[in-house]
């Protein structure tokens, strides 16, 4: 956090050096990014991402969409518009915040976007099947996504029973866990652990972590078996 000198913000451990939440999902043929937050450009540079086929959006909060303009680097190399997928709520924010990419009077160097409006219907991007999962971020509907045996859920503090069924059977669940203290729109560490145990997912990784949670090494040591704190640059391979 800007201006903060707490033990996490000053930690020498690279696992405490967290950029905004996002994941890259890769198969043999297809590469997808979920959310383009304000750190998107730096994340692409840091992890040397050279190929991207699509972007999925979870919800319209700025920390998940603000970096979209930098998609233009991928347009430049692929010479194609980027396929982006968003529900109607997020689409409205994208069209407002990045209006210049959606007008008829276009100037050179703006992002080229091919916007696909999604609902809770499953769809396929390249060779990756995607199942949207509705979760609640206080009163805002947010999309989680299941890709085969891998499920990603950020920015939620409540999930309806029917949507929980879509998560069951996952081998890996990435879930938000903001901090230990109660929060109005994010699961706490305790609530996230409870949900993993309820859904019996064998491996879980927590993300969207606040500096208020504490240092990675200390919290990691407290977690039950199979549950971990995710860290920037972490790679998870699925069979």
53/155 with CB nearer Zn ion: 155
Q: Are strands 172-176 and 203-207 parallel, antiparallel or unpaired?
A: parallel
Binding region for Zn ion (CB under 5 A) out of 40-48, 58-66, 124-132, 197-205: 58-66
| 30 within 8 A of 51, measured Cβ to Cβ | no
Using CB under 5 A as the binding criterion, the count of chain residues that bind Zn ion stands at: 3
Query: Min. distance of Cβ 220 from Zn ion in angstroms?
Result: 22
Site string for Zn ion, 32-51 (x = CB under 5 A): --------------------
Least Cα distance to 166 among 194, 134, 193, 192 occurs for 134
Site string for Zn ion, 59-78 (x = CB under 5 A): --x-x---------------
**Alpha helices, H only, the chain:** 40-46, 62-65, 72-78, 88-97, 161-167, 189-199, 216-222
89 touching Zn ion, by CB under 5 A: no
Query: Min. distance of Cβ 15 from Zn ion in angstroms?
Result: 19
Count of CA atoms in the C-beta half-sphere (13 A) of 127: 5
Cβ-closest position to Zn ion: 61
Find how far residue 88's CA is from the centre of its chain.
Answer: 18
65/130 with CB nearer Zn ion: 65
Q: Return all residues near 71 (Cβ < 8 A) that are at least 6 apart.
A: 36, 52, 55, 82, 84, 111, 113
Query: Min. distance of Cβ 59 from Zn ion in angstroms?
Result: 6
| 58 within 8 A of 144, measured Cβ to Cβ | yes
Query: Min. distance of Cβ 23 from Zn ion in angstroms?
Result: 13
155/191 with CB nearer Zn ion: 155
Binding region for Zn ion (CB under 5 A) out of 55-63, 88-96, 161-169, 196-204: 55-63
Query: Min. distance of Cβ 177 from Zn ion in angstroms?
Result: 12
Binding residues for Zn ion restricted to 140-159, rule: CB under 5 A: 155
Query: Min. distance of Cβ 104 from Zn ion in angstroms?
Result: 32
Cα separation, 115 vs 117, in Å, equals 6
Helices and strands (H and E) in the chain: how many: 7, 12
Per CB under 5 A, residues contacting Zn ion are 61, 63, 155
């Amino acid at each position: 956090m800007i201006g903060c000198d707490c033990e996490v913000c000053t930690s020498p451990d690279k696992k405490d050096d967290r950029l905004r939440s996002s994941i890259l999902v890769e198969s043999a043929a297809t590469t997808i990014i979920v959310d383009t937050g304000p750190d998107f450009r730096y994340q692409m540079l840091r992890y040397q991402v050279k190929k991207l086929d699509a972007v999925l959006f979870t919800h319209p909060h700025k920390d998940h969409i603000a970096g979209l303009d930098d998609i233009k680097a991928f347009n430049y190399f692929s010479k194609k518009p980027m396929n982006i997928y968003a529900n109607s709520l997020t689409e409205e924010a994208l069209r407002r915040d990045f209006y210049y990419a959606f007008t008829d009077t276009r100037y050179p160097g703006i992002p080229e976007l091919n916007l696909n409006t999604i609902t809770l219907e499953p769809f396929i991007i390249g060779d990756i099947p995607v199942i949207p999962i509705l979760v609640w971020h206080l009163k805002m509907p947010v999309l989680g996504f299941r890709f085969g045996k891998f499920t990603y859920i950020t920015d939620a503090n409540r999930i309806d029973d029917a949507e929980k069924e879509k998560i069951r059977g996952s081998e890996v669940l990435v879930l938000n866990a903001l901090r230990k203290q109660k929060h109005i729109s994010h699961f706490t560490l305790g609530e996230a652990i409870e949900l993993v145990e309820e859904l019996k997912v064998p491996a879980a990784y927590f993300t969207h972590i606040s500096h208020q949670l504490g240092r990675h090494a200390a919290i990691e040591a407290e977690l039950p078996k199979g549950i971990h704190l995710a860290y920037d640059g972490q790679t998870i391979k699925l069979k």
